[in-house]
Amino acid sequence: MRFTTARLCGGKALMAISADEMDIDMAAAAEKFRSEGCQISESDDMMIVFQWNGMETTLYRQGKVMFFPLEDKQLCIKYATEMLESL
């Protein structure tokens, strides 16, 4: 997968933006995260907000993934790749 990254929230959050067009099944993704023990705080047909690996993580339907707090761009891409490939 190919990504670009964006630094958000004064540098304390990073978003991986997929270069490929995606349309993630959000209900199936939410169920997968729940089954892995992730605590979901918000879920609808456009995004899922959940705790993952000690970070607040937001997954968007079009394949964007935001991690807070995270400042390492390489880790951001690694985590997003692992997460999206598992869906």
Q: What is the pLDDT of residues 11-63, one digit of tens each?
A: 789 999 999 889 999 999 999 999 999 999 999 999 999 999 999 999 999 99
Cβ neighbours for 60, distance < 8 A, ≥ 6 positions apart: 24, 46, 47, 66
pTM of the model: 0.91
Average pLDDT over residues 54-79: 95
Query: What is the model's pLDDT at position 81?
Result: 94
Distance of CA 60 to CAs 14, 28, 84, Å?
14, 13, 11
Rounded CA gap, 13 and 10, in Å?
A: 8
Go through the domains of the chain in sequence order and give each one's CATH number.
3-85 (3.30.310)
Is residue 74 within 8 A of residue 61, CB to CB? The reply is no
Query: What is the model's pLDDT at position 52?
Result: 95
Going through 1-87 in order, the beta strands assigned E by DSSP cover: 3-8, 13-18, 40-43, 47-52, 55-60, 65-68
Closest CA to 55 of 24, 9, 2: 9
pLDDT exceeds cutoff 80 at 10: no
Query: What is the model's pLDDT at position 11?
Result: 78
